[in-house]
Each structure stands twice: as C-alpha cells, then as structure tokens.
Structure 1
C-alpha cells in the first residue's frame, strides 16, 4: 500500500541527513562495483545549494532524496535515493513522476540520467519507465550507462 508521500525542496541544514540517507541507499553497491558509488562522494551542503534537491517525506521523516540539474535544455536526474526502510512504498516512483512533471514544467524536451553498469536493477527500472540507453562510457572511473526519456509528445500521467 502506497503511503502519503510529500515532496518539498531540501534545506541546507538537512545536508547531513541527506548524505546519511544516500550512504545508506548506496552502500549495498560498494562490493558490486568495487568502490563507493559517485553519489556517496558528493558534498551535500554544496549539492543542496547548487542543484535542485527535493526530499520525499513520509510522516515526520525524510524517506528519499531527488537531485535534479538543468543541462543543455534537458533535465538531468542526478540522483534518486530511497531510505532502505522505505523501499517498496512508492517513494522512488513518486520522485521519478515528480522529476518528469518538473522537467515538463520547465519546458525541457527530455530527462536524462546515468547509472553504473553494474546497477542492473536500476537500469531495468528506468527502461520500464520509458528511458532508453543512449551510450556507455567511463567517467571519473565509473562505468556508466547513459539513458534518456523524451518528453515531447508524451501525455502527462
């Protein structure tokens, strides 16, 4: 059963809580990719100040974080992370729906993202949501899969 999820802009004073949530969400991937995933290396005080960061709230707590950035007329989905205890409650789906609606509201033609090639379950989630793989490349030592979803001509859900 999906809970009542509210998204709101993140506040700088929440940066340490956001960093802890991201670390919790991405720690399981360390063994798989052989190092900390890129989102674990970010300075979330800077990220909250410089990017569009939203938190998903369930009750009184932060259940997820969404980091977006305008890039060449598209919206880049920089990071989406869900607290382990909140997985399976629709938090991630709610944040992805919000990201697409936000991109449309900004007039973006597409929403783009990248993920590590060994995060295969994430690649599959994005494919089922209409993203297609554009290319693969190694950036900053990470083997990344780049994906894109065109928003032109798509009906808003």
Structure 2
C-alpha cells in the first residue's frame, strides 16, 4: 500500500487530535490520568512545523512530532491510528525520525515515554535506544531514552 509522509498543516489538526486521542486513551486506566501527549498543544506543534504525518492510501494514519534541541532531536510523540496498527507504520515513522535527525546533523535522538507504557519501552529498546534515566515530571513517571546515530 502506498505510504506518504508530509508536514502537517492546521487543516490536519482534527485528524492529529483524533489519532492521539484514539492511540493514547487505552493508557488512561493504566496510568491513572491522561498521558502527556493528550495534553499537548497540537496546534502550536503544527504551527512550529514539528508534526509530520504518515498517510496510507491518502488517509492520515499516524503522526510524528520532532523537536530540535541543542545537541539532539527530540522524538516528542509518535502515534498510529488503532485501525492502522500492525502495518509497520510506527517502524516507518521511527526510521523517518532517525533519518531526519541524521540529515539535520544530529548525532543523537532522544525520547521519553511513560514507565507504564512497557510495550513502548521494549520497542524502543529493540530499535537500539538505551535508557538514560527516569524522572517524574508534570505528575507523570517518565523513562528517558536515546539512540546514538553516529
């Protein structure tokens, strides 16, 4: 199936919010509150050109939020519409993030996830990310990870 990636526009905001809501809602019971990505200002992220979309046959099925930092690219959010999960879109977005980081001359890519999202931690570990530390921020227990791209 044809996959395309592009930057999000403000017209995409409803689809971005719908995907984030659907992808993260199952974690509310596990965490005891809404996960961080459900609380973010997605319009601002789109305005700042941080949100990339993956489309499958012309339909937005996933989002990737990348934020430049001083010495690394922060993979701030990755979410796939539940109906599109299991088709490799998440892997495609991770590969795209790493490629964009390299193309922008970053030597590392960083991310964080909630410690209750154990399947995400396992996925990132399989993809070569290592845990750097854990911390509580904004009432959320986060696991910080990074991958050396050099």
TM-score by length of 1: 0.93
- The farther-off stretch of 39-48 and 136-145 is 39-48
Q: Which runs of 4+ in 1 moved over 4 A?
A: none
Aligned residues: 150
Tell me the residue number matched to 1:130: 128
Q: Structure 1, residues 35-68: CA drift from partner, whole Å, max 9, x if none?
A: 0001001121111012421000001210100000
TM-score by length of 2: 0.98
RMSD: 0.8
Is 2:118 the partner of 1:110? Answer: no
Tell me the residue number matched to 1:77: 75
SS across alignment from 1:18? helix
Q: Distance in 2 between matches of 1:146 and 1:136?
A: 6
SS across alignment from 1:46? helix
Query: Could you list the runs of 5+ residues in structure 1 that have no partner in the other structure?
Result: 153-157
Tell me the residue number matched to 1:92: 90
SS across alignment from 1:108? coil
